[in-house]
Amino acid sequence: MSMGSNSLHSDSGDYGDHDDGLMVEINMTPLVDVMLVLLVIFLVTLPVIQHAVKLDLPQSSSQPLDHKPVHVQIGIAADGALTWDEKPLTNEELAPRLAAAASQTPQPELQLYADRHVMYEKVADVMSAAQAAGLAKLDFVTTPAAKKP
């Protein structure tokens, strides 16, 4: 028929049917075996080669200090009257007292008790004065609402 025309061995670039082609898949079993052997070797030898530095540390018998932070209570009544730890305070005395509290180490926590009917402007003035004095901790104290039956 035709001269040397064999469709099985044509030079068309299709390498899928040849047995003498390169192997495309990698056999993972030997790789996993080698990794498991290395893992076992490291697990066995790790405690043997562990180097620890032995230190002779000083002994102490002191007890930890139980520091409770000091707090200052500032109250604002409905009419705008101020109190400092439940003692009456004028607006002029507020800034020096806040500055003195801010200079203490550690700084006290400022607990702000404001009546529910006080104008927000008065609360904002006290907060601004505390920030200007350098106080970092300000707590708003409220009373929980009564549970309805």
The DSSP annotation for 83-96 comes to EETTEEE-HHHHHH
Distances (CA, A) of 95 to 61, 78, 101, 123: 43, 21, 10, 14
Give residue-wise pLDDT tens across range 18-77: 566 677 788 889 999 999 999 999 888 887 777 777 777 778 777 776 677 788 999 999
Structure token digits, residue 47: 């405690």
Q: What rounded mean pLDDT belongs to the chain?
A: 81
Class for domain 71-141, per CATH?
alpha beta
